Chains A and B, each alone.
Chain A
């Protein structure tokens, strides 16, 4: 009995040592990863300053017409940094971006839209420009403000519109259903419920991780998603680099 008790104590002791060793190794690996990222971060900052000062030739002037619609996703922790967001938008305007969609999960940016628009001369809402048919000849930028409610909730609204619309016609035939439930019908219905904005070509994420945070799913099937780091560390050079890299991409769309 004493022998059994002793061996149990020994096993428990060995298990504790093993556990401590594993914890130590785990922390060591993560410290090593942090150390790995540190010089990479410094190199990125240096490169972004070189780009900002115009010392890297290829970033000095490039064609941004390929980037027809840009989306910016801001993490909810940083979304109250309105001055940073306004500065970011000013940089985008300077680069030549015409149409920008701002997204945050909770819709804080939507509530601040009037304040943001006031700070940017001549910038108007995308939907106002669209209605007045002045999208293509704008000298200044258009802005769209989007939140989580424009994603899944908008699809639910669109589903109910389709449901009600075709309830009356009694669509039970498979051919009729094949005509109602198509992707183009869905896109049109999302427009009618106010969530049918263009599909962004590029989506820049300002936050702790590369994660689109619920940007309306219907709009990002082939969108390039790039992580820019926290908003508080944003810089002009990194922005230019991300846009330049996008202009070099040649997607094949599954073909």
Chain B
């Protein structure tokens, strides 16, 4: 079994070497859709679906790190998700709190792979334990630099835009100059996602074709990829397929220029 695992890992690394001949996206974003449907199909509890989703995220993070992708963003919890049943929201919050606290340990997978974690979203909407766990994790991983992972929690793009406009206005009011004008860079540097470049690829699982209020501002030039696999079913092959299609698009752009 261990031998088989080593063979598979070797083949994956070979595949990455081949794919790396072409341009590798610097930022991949994931809309992690389908945990509940995955659980329902297997007669599992909804919480088990989200737990399976967590392992899929870990797997994607490791693959992205090995492929050389510098920035990874995951849509973990939307502001719209607060409308779900209370038990499910509590289950998700507990899962996130538990995982963020475990990631703070030095021997955690996040530290082993040099992943720096950042949170994008209106964290004031979160419960205090989860908000504290998020802050603690951000501080604990600040020294990592191999991969920048942004977890969008209590996030929607429209909320992000409004908050960036609000902060821009507040700073201009504080300047108290008659001729103050807000420009595009004022708003963009106050976006939650300012720490990462615009995504090259956005992958959504479960076959849906919407962005669901995710990275709307940042996705003008992003290749939008939809796969019918549920999020816990996402694999190395889906990632490779998305990257290969990105490379095809890049070569089309180059031919035009």
Contact = CB atoms under 8 A, between A and B. Distances in A.
Given A152-B217, A183-B158, A208-B249, A159 B168 contact: yes
B219 to A, nearest CB: 7
B150 interface: no
Contacts of A212: 219-220, 224
Interface in A181-217: 181-183, 186, 208-215, 217
B18 A163 contact: no
Contacts of B216: 217-218, 220-221
B106 interface: no
A222 B206 CA distance: 15
Interface residues of B, number: 56
Interface in B68-110: 78-81, 83-84
A181 B162 contact: yes
Given A26-B21, A159-B165, A224-B210, A211 B157 contact: no
Contacts of B247: 30
A29 B163 contact: no
User: What does DSSP make chain B's interface, helix, strand, loop or mixed?
Assistant: helix
Contact of B182 (A160, A177, A214): A160
B220 A225 contact: no
A209 B180 CA distance: 40
B162 A186 contact: yes
Given A26-B22, A159-B165, A183-B158, A209 B80 contact: no
Given A221-B212, A221-B216, A152 B182 contact: no
A186 B173 contact: no
A210 B161 contact: no
B78 A254 contact: yes
B227 interface: no
Nearest to A77: B256
Given A152-B184, A153-B184, A211 B162 contact: no
B229 interface: no
Nearest to A153: B184
A26 B216 CA distance: 32
Interface of A: 22-23, 25-26, 29-30, 33, 77, 151-153, 155-156, 158-160, 162-163, 166-167, 171-172, 177, 180-183, 186, 208-215, 217-218, 220-227, 249, 251, 253-255
25 contacts: A23-B21, A29-B244, A30-B248, A33-B245, A152-B187, A153-B184, A159-B169, A160-B181, A163-B169, A181-B169, A182-B162, A186-B165, A210-B225, A213-B221, A217-B157, A217-B161, A218-B161, A221-B216, A224-B210, A227-B224, A249-B209, A251-B208, A253-B80, A253-B212, A254-B78
